[in-house]
A and B are shown apart, each in its own frame.
Chain A
Amino acid sequence: DIVLTQSPGTLSLSPGDRATLSCWASQSVTNNYLAWYQQKPGQAPRLLIYGISNRATGIPDRFSGSGSGTDFTLTISRLEPEDFAVYYCQQYGGSPPGFIFGPGTTVDVK
Protein backbone atom coordinates (compact mmCIF):
# COMPACT_ATOMS: atom_id res chain seq x y z
CA ASP A 1 0.00 0.00 0.00
CA ILE A 2 1.12 3.52 -0.76
CA VAL A 3 1.85 5.65 2.30
CA LEU A 4 2.19 9.44 2.37
CA THR A 5 4.38 11.07 5.00
CA GLN A 6 4.27 14.78 5.75
CA SER A 7 6.93 16.88 7.43
CA PRO A 8 7.10 18.68 9.71
CA GLY A 9 4.18 17.72 11.87
CA THR A 10 3.88 21.29 13.06
CA LEU A 11 5.37 24.44 11.59
CA SER A 12 5.39 27.52 13.81
CA LEU A 13 5.77 30.71 11.82
CA SER A 14 4.80 34.38 11.82
CA PRO A 15 2.63 36.27 9.32
CA GLY A 16 4.78 37.28 6.38
CA ASP A 17 7.04 34.24 6.70
CA ARG A 18 7.59 31.70 3.97
CA ALA A 19 6.21 28.22 4.69
CA THR A 20 7.62 25.08 3.11
CA LEU A 21 5.68 21.86 3.66
CA SER A 22 6.90 18.45 2.49
CA CYS A 23 5.08 15.31 1.41
CA TRP A 24 6.79 12.02 0.62
CA ALA A 25 5.20 8.99 -1.06
CA SER A 26 6.36 5.42 -0.41
CA GLN A 27 6.05 4.76 -4.14
CA SER A 28 6.29 7.01 -7.16
CA VAL A 29 3.11 9.03 -7.81
CA THR A 30 1.71 8.21 -11.22
CA ASN A 31 0.29 10.70 -13.69
CA ASN A 32 1.01 13.66 -11.38
CA TYR A 33 -2.00 12.71 -9.23
CA LEU A 34 -0.89 14.69 -6.18
CA ALA A 35 -3.04 17.33 -4.52
CA TRP A 36 -2.92 19.60 -1.46
CA TYR A 37 -5.78 20.68 0.81
CA GLN A 38 -6.15 23.28 3.54
CA GLN A 39 -8.41 22.66 6.53
CA LYS A 40 -9.34 25.16 9.21
CA PRO A 41 -10.96 24.17 12.53
CA GLY A 42 -14.62 23.23 12.12
CA GLN A 43 -14.45 23.49 8.35
CA ALA A 44 -14.25 21.06 5.46
CA PRO A 45 -10.98 20.73 3.60
CA ARG A 46 -10.44 23.04 0.64
CA LEU A 47 -8.56 22.02 -2.49
CA LEU A 48 -5.51 24.24 -3.00
CA ILE A 49 -3.34 22.46 -5.56
CA TYR A 50 -4.00 19.61 -7.99
CA GLY A 51 -1.76 17.81 -10.44
CA ILE A 52 1.28 18.70 -8.26
CA SER A 53 1.42 22.37 -9.25
CA ASN A 54 -1.95 23.65 -10.51
CA ARG A 55 -3.80 26.07 -8.30
CA ALA A 56 -7.50 25.34 -7.82
CA THR A 57 -10.09 27.96 -8.63
CA GLY A 58 -9.83 31.04 -6.44
CA ILE A 59 -6.57 30.05 -4.74
CA PRO A 60 -4.14 32.98 -4.34
CA ASP A 61 -0.81 32.80 -6.12
CA ARG A 62 1.12 32.82 -2.84
CA PHE A 63 0.35 29.08 -2.79
CA SER A 64 2.48 26.94 -5.06
CA GLY A 65 3.18 23.24 -5.44
CA SER A 66 6.16 21.43 -6.86
CA GLY A 67 7.90 18.07 -6.96
CA SER A 68 7.96 14.80 -8.81
CA GLY A 69 8.26 11.08 -8.25
CA THR A 70 8.01 10.62 -4.49
CA ASP A 71 8.92 14.09 -3.16
CA PHE A 72 6.52 17.02 -3.18
CA THR A 73 6.40 20.50 -1.67
CA LEU A 74 3.70 23.04 -0.89
CA THR A 75 5.08 26.56 -0.51
CA ILE A 76 3.24 29.56 0.89
CA SER A 77 5.35 32.52 -0.12
CA ARG A 78 4.13 34.98 2.51
CA LEU A 79 1.82 33.76 5.24
CA GLU A 80 -1.38 35.69 5.70
CA PRO A 81 -3.33 35.44 8.98
CA GLU A 82 -5.94 33.23 7.28
CA ASP A 83 -3.30 30.70 6.18
CA PHE A 84 -2.76 29.24 9.64
CA ALA A 85 -4.40 25.84 9.28
CA VAL A 86 -3.74 22.15 8.68
CA TYR A 87 -2.48 21.09 5.26
CA TYR A 88 -2.90 17.62 3.78
CA CYS A 89 -1.36 16.09 0.71
CA GLN A 90 -3.35 13.48 -1.19
CA GLN A 91 -2.44 10.97 -3.86
CA TYR A 92 -4.62 8.98 -6.21
CA GLY A 93 -3.32 5.71 -7.48
CA GLY A 94 -1.97 2.45 -6.24
CA SER A 95 -3.21 -1.06 -6.77
CA PRO A 96 -6.16 -1.11 -6.45
CA PRO A 97 -6.44 2.65 -7.16
CA GLY A 98 -7.86 4.95 -4.53
CA PHE A 99 -7.31 8.08 -2.49
CA ILE A 100 -4.57 8.26 0.10
CA PHE A 101 -4.18 11.26 2.40
CA GLY A 102 -1.10 12.26 4.32
CA PRO A 103 -1.30 12.80 8.09
CA GLY A 104 -1.19 16.57 7.76
CA THR A 105 1.06 19.49 8.71
CA THR A 106 -0.22 22.11 11.13
CA VAL A 107 0.93 25.65 10.42
CA ASP A 108 0.45 27.68 13.58
CA VAL A 109 1.39 31.11 14.84
CA LYS A 110 4.81 31.41 16.40
Chain B
Amino acid sequence: QVQLQESGPGLVKPSQTLSLTCTVSGASISSGGYYWTWVRQNPGKGLEWIGYIYYTGNTYFSPSLKSRVTISRDTVNNKFSLRLTSVSATDTAVYYCGRQSRGVDIDLWGQGTLVTVSS
Protein backbone atom coordinates (compact mmCIF):
# COMPACT_ATOMS: atom_id res chain seq x y z
CA GLN B 1 0.00 0.00 0.00
CA VAL B 2 1.49 3.29 -1.11
CA GLN B 3 1.36 6.14 1.39
CA LEU B 4 2.59 9.71 1.33
CA GLN B 5 3.31 11.88 4.37
CA GLU B 6 4.17 15.57 4.39
CA SER B 7 6.43 17.06 7.03
CA GLY B 8 8.00 20.41 7.76
CA PRO B 9 7.65 23.61 9.78
CA GLY B 10 4.13 24.82 10.39
CA LEU B 11 5.19 28.44 10.70
CA VAL B 12 7.40 30.44 8.35
CA LYS B 13 8.27 34.13 8.55
CA PRO B 14 7.50 36.47 5.66
CA SER B 15 10.27 36.71 3.05
CA GLN B 16 11.79 33.43 4.20
CA THR B 17 11.79 30.05 2.49
CA LEU B 18 9.14 27.39 3.00
CA SER B 19 10.54 23.86 2.95
CA LEU B 20 8.47 20.68 3.03
CA THR B 21 9.24 17.02 2.53
CA CYS B 22 7.02 14.19 1.34
CA THR B 23 8.03 10.73 2.49
CA VAL B 24 6.77 7.94 0.27
CA SER B 25 6.31 4.39 1.49
CA GLY B 26 5.27 1.37 -0.54
CA ALA B 27 6.67 2.61 -3.83
CA SER B 28 9.95 3.94 -5.18
CA ILE B 29 9.94 7.53 -6.39
CA SER B 30 12.67 6.71 -8.90
CA SER B 31 10.81 3.98 -10.74
CA GLY B 32 7.41 3.11 -12.12
CA GLY B 33 6.86 6.03 -14.43
CA TYR B 34 5.10 8.07 -11.77
CA TYR B 35 5.01 11.81 -11.25
CA TRP B 36 5.24 13.15 -7.71
CA THR B 37 3.41 16.39 -7.16
CA TRP B 38 2.68 19.27 -4.81
CA VAL B 39 -0.70 21.01 -4.49
CA ARG B 40 -1.77 23.67 -2.01
CA GLN B 41 -5.06 24.97 -0.69
CA ASN B 42 -5.43 28.38 0.90
CA PRO B 43 -7.70 28.27 3.97
CA GLY B 44 -11.30 27.91 2.88
CA LYS B 45 -10.33 28.16 -0.78
CA GLY B 46 -9.77 25.94 -3.78
CA LEU B 47 -6.87 23.83 -4.95
CA GLU B 48 -3.74 25.16 -6.64
CA TRP B 49 -1.20 22.95 -8.38
CA ILE B 50 2.41 23.86 -7.61
CA GLY B 51 4.51 21.45 -9.64
CA TYR B 52 5.83 17.92 -9.96
CA ILE B 53 8.97 15.85 -10.27
CA TYR B 54 9.01 12.92 -12.64
CA TYR B 55 10.60 9.60 -11.68
CA THR B 56 13.50 10.56 -13.94
CA GLY B 57 14.13 13.70 -11.90
CA ASN B 58 12.69 16.13 -14.44
CA THR B 59 10.55 18.87 -12.95
CA TYR B 60 7.72 21.10 -14.09
CA PHE B 61 6.09 24.00 -12.26
CA SER B 62 3.02 26.16 -12.36
CA PRO B 63 3.88 29.29 -14.36
CA SER B 64 2.53 31.49 -11.56
CA LEU B 65 4.95 30.02 -9.00
CA LYS B 66 7.82 28.96 -11.23
CA SER B 67 10.17 31.75 -10.21
CA ARG B 68 9.98 30.80 -6.52
CA VAL B 69 9.63 27.00 -6.56
CA THR B 70 12.11 24.15 -6.45
CA ILE B 71 11.16 20.49 -6.24
CA SER B 72 13.90 17.98 -5.57
CA ARG B 73 14.22 14.36 -4.55
CA ASP B 74 16.20 12.08 -2.27
CA THR B 75 16.08 8.67 -3.87
CA VAL B 76 18.04 7.01 -1.08
CA ASN B 77 15.42 7.93 1.51
CA ASN B 78 12.53 7.87 -0.98
CA LYS B 79 11.47 11.44 -0.38
CA PHE B 80 10.77 14.48 -2.47
CA SER B 81 10.79 18.06 -1.31
CA LEU B 82 9.31 21.48 -2.00
CA ARG B 83 11.04 24.80 -1.52
CA LEU B 84 9.14 28.05 -1.96
CA THR B 85 11.16 31.22 -1.58
CA SER B 86 10.19 34.75 -0.56
CA VAL B 87 6.92 33.71 1.05
CA SER B 88 4.17 36.08 2.07
CA ALA B 89 0.83 35.71 3.83
CA THR B 90 -0.77 34.59 0.58
CA ASP B 91 1.35 31.45 0.74
CA THR B 92 -0.44 30.37 3.92
CA ALA B 93 -2.09 27.11 2.93
CA VAL B 94 -2.44 23.41 3.47
CA TYR B 95 0.24 21.80 1.32
CA TYR B 96 -0.42 18.35 -0.11
CA CYS B 97 1.95 15.98 -1.82
CA GLY B 98 0.56 13.45 -4.23
CA ARG B 99 1.19 10.90 -6.94
CA GLN B 100 0.19 11.14 -10.57
CA SER B 101 0.02 7.60 -11.93
CA ARG B 102 -1.18 8.67 -15.35
CA GLY B 103 0.53 12.04 -15.26
CA VAL B 104 -2.70 13.94 -15.76
CA ASP B 105 -4.57 13.39 -12.51
CA ILE B 106 -3.63 12.83 -8.86
CA ASP B 107 -4.68 9.40 -7.69
CA LEU B 108 -2.99 9.37 -4.31
CA TRP B 109 -2.68 12.20 -1.79
CA GLY B 110 -0.90 12.80 1.49
CA GLN B 111 -2.96 14.03 4.41
CA GLY B 112 -1.68 17.60 4.00
CA THR B 113 0.19 19.95 6.28
CA LEU B 114 -0.77 23.51 7.22
CA VAL B 115 1.91 26.14 6.75
CA THR B 116 1.25 29.59 8.13
CA VAL B 117 3.29 32.56 7.00
CA SER B 118 3.44 35.07 9.81
CA SER B 119 5.96 37.07 11.78
Give the B-binding residues of A (Cβ under 8 A). Answer: 31, 33, 35, 37, 43-47, 50-51, 56-57, 88, 90, 92, 96-104
In the complex, what residues of A have CB within 8 A of residue B106's CB?
Answer: 35, 37, 45, 47, 90, 99
Mind listing 30 A-B residue pairs with CB under 8 Å? A33-B104, A35-B104, A35-B106, A37-B47, A44-B109, A44-B110, A44-B111, A44-B112, A45-B47, A45-B96, A45-B106, A45-B109, A47-B105, A50-B102, A50-B104, A51-B102, A88-B47, A90-B106, A92-B103, A92-B105, A96-B63, A98-B60, A99-B39, A99-B49, A99-B106, A101-B46, A101-B48, A102-B46, A103-B46, A104-B46
Cα separation A101 to B110 with both chains bound (whole Å) = 18
- B111 and A50 within 8 A (CB): no
Q: Is the interface of B mostly helix, strand, loop or mixed?
A: loop
Cα separation A68 to B96 with both chains bound (whole Å) = 29
Cα separation A46 to B106 with both chains bound (whole Å) = 8
Cα separation A56 to B102 with both chains bound (whole Å) = 12
Cα separation A90 to B60 with both chains bound (whole Å) = 17
- B49 and A100 within 8 A (CB): yes
Contact status of A98 and B110, CB under 8 A, knowing A35-B105, A92-B104: no
